[in-house]
A and B are shown apart, each in its own frame.
Chain A
């Protein structure tokens, strides 16, 4: 399953690349992999958060629920999608649709691409921490197969909130990190200029995370068809498991991390 990234890059370059303006966003992935996609809105508590797009569609002939963090392509879109930084409503909408998927035993695909959960007064006061915590706890018990693919930025808790899944895959040029290298360098060395040192130390590239056993697969960039085939195969494999087996394996997947 392991594929070496096509060429070795400086880790910080990977981070900068993952933020690049011309990258494929969640919408592109949905457009090329999912047919008959229907987007659904709202968390049913407070509002609609366009940083997260979610809905249902077919992956081949498999009905699935798709939840993606969308950054947008041009300035207008980026503002509308809040640059891919979700408020609590976004995470609650995601959870609502995951629960719906569970009801119909429909697999869930999460496309992760965020610099982090939005930090602002409103987000805090509507329970950003609680929203993320709820997703982690509820996804641990969601009785349907789930795969998340980090397609660009995997920014800390905001990315993790959609990654408590049976499999975590990463595009070869994506990153997943506990903290942005700039903040890390700023906190530890009081200088954002050491971001490259921090990026290296944090071990945030797909290769590094694969080596540590924290992700299951590295996907080649630009190969949507290949990704879609792999997803189909993997979902079939997961669907063949009993619910008990699935949940126990998911528990063990995270249980052994760090020990």
Chain B
């Protein structure tokens, strides 16, 4: 019934990508790693202050002058939040196919791969945070605005299924414009596919923590981004279902300044806490610690019951 949409281990393409990476200039100016670039100056998008790449990095990608949150790509996020060298990636080889033969989709995919230097818009795997094992997925806004196509849905579903079997918590770092139009209904129904996997993971007594980052909107907001046991957000992140321009246009009125900002969404009751970037790792570590103990006790009881039979 299903349509094969993903080329598993498409080695040719992967090798091509690897070679390309060697020659590719880092697209994100903050990600350029060679020594000279570190002292290069970049101006902050909001306060225009000139900052060196090193300064920005040392301050968790937050402008030291005005507090602007620079976008952080998915792999960097994982580095920032997990223990050194603890991350093992899963399903990296999955790449999208243009099943609907949607105009210009292949070119867009190619551009997105080059821009993000990833195969798709989400990175999944297992890592430790302050020594505690956790499954995680981290979305990348450089890959077609973090839009969710069949591969993104498949990868996130797989990580939830893996975590369910392994009794592991899941940490999700979301950034997305929503479902990927170029995959039509195949992409819309990823919302259902991921949500049901989240539900099974939850029913098995496992923890799911979401960290909402700027922006988390559309079909991602209306599915797994809103299904966490604990929902955290970065300051000033846009979180909402419909795009602000769509609403503005249909209502024909200007929107309040804080509309869909994480601070306002918290006031409305949909976010547990807003956690500044430099505190996120510690915060997540605490949450995991709190749940690890409960989990172990619960499982011990379960073992006790089964041996008692």
How many residue-residue contacts, CB under 8 A, span A and B? 188
Contact B153 A258 (CB under 8 A): yes
Q: Known contacts being A119-B247, A212-B186, is A129 close to B222, with CB within 8 Å? A: yes
Q: Which 4 A-B pairs have the closest CB atoms?
A: A258-B150, A119-B242, A140-B196, A213-B1
B188 within 8 A of A: yes
Contact A201 B268 (CB under 8 A): no
One of B100, B198, B223, B268 near A125 (C-beta < 8 A): B268
Binding site of A, secondary structure by majority: helix, strand, loop or mixed?
Answer: helix
Q: Known contacts being A130-B226, A258-B150, is A251 close to B191, with CB within 8 Å? A: no
Q: Which B residues form the contact surface with A (CB < 8 A)?
A: 1-6, 99-104, 149-151, 153-154, 157, 179-193, 195-200, 202-203, 218-219, 221-227, 239-242, 246-247, 250-251, 255-256, 259-260, 264, 268-270
- CA distance in complex: A202, B101 (Å): 9
Contact B241 A132 (CB under 8 A): yes
A24 to chain B, nearest CB (A): 23
Chain B: CB-nearest residue to A118: B242
Contact B198 A137 (CB under 8 A): yes
Q: Which A residues form the contact surface with B (CB < 8 A)?
A: 117, 119-121, 123-130, 132-134, 136-138, 140-141, 156-157, 160-161, 163-164, 176-179, 183-184, 187-188, 197, 201-204, 209, 212-214, 250-251, 254-259
Contact A119 B222 (CB under 8 A): no
Contact B3 A188 (CB under 8 A): no
Could you say which residues of chain B place their CB within 8 Å of the CB of A251? 196, 200
Chain A: CB-nearest residue to B100: A203
Binding site of B, secondary structure by majority: helix, strand, loop or mixed?
Answer: helix
- CA distance in complex: A3, B21 (Å): 49
- CA distance in complex: A237, B190 (Å): 27
A211 to chain B, nearest CB (A): 9
Could you say which residues of chain A place their CB within 8 Å of the CB of B184? 177-178, 201-204
Q: Known contacts being A130-B270, A137-B227, A255-B157, is A120 close to B193, with CB within 8 Å? A: no
Could you say which residues of chain B place their CB within 8 Å of the CB of A213? 1-3
Could you say which residues of chain B place their CB within 8 Å of the CB of A124? 240-242, 247, 259-260
B269 to chain A, nearest CB (A): 7
